A and B are shown apart, each in its own frame.
Chain A
């Protein structure tokens, strides 16, 4: 089982609130990722990081922001939540230079914005 953790697991919040989704991994992986997944749909990459102080936007445009101050920590922040942000958010990590670049996923955060 992968050592990657996400909190909270479920979050229901009102429109306009600021939220931070936490993601931590204890595997020492340099690469970390945030995906967004709607029910029955494929995962979409919204942010990724190659290492400390490195952050990039993914393929799916997102109003969220991320930071990578420590190797093990990759939080995602929404400054003002909206109902359109309702989704499942999955964090993943992989080892730099790994043969297959296998990504290990956290359990996800189910976000509902009312």
Chain B
């Protein structure tokens, strides 16, 4: 089964509203990362949260991690039209290998 499943698949909100995206995974991880991808572009690293952390903030971003539920959430507050993009979570379950497994992603549309 797939590591890093996300919901919702698509989210449409009005500018100024908050957007919450969730990610679930199946095996123990060393850390979990969130990325952003604009259409047809590469990925931009947003935030990394380690397995011994529960919450991290970066600007308008807030990430939580619940290892007991094997889930993480990404909250974007006061969204802007420029936040429109796809957001992916990626889990590192074996840091020595350096590999990440990506979730299916959530496509966020912020309407002006």
Q: Do A and B bind each other?
A: no
Interface residues of B (CB under 8 A from A): none
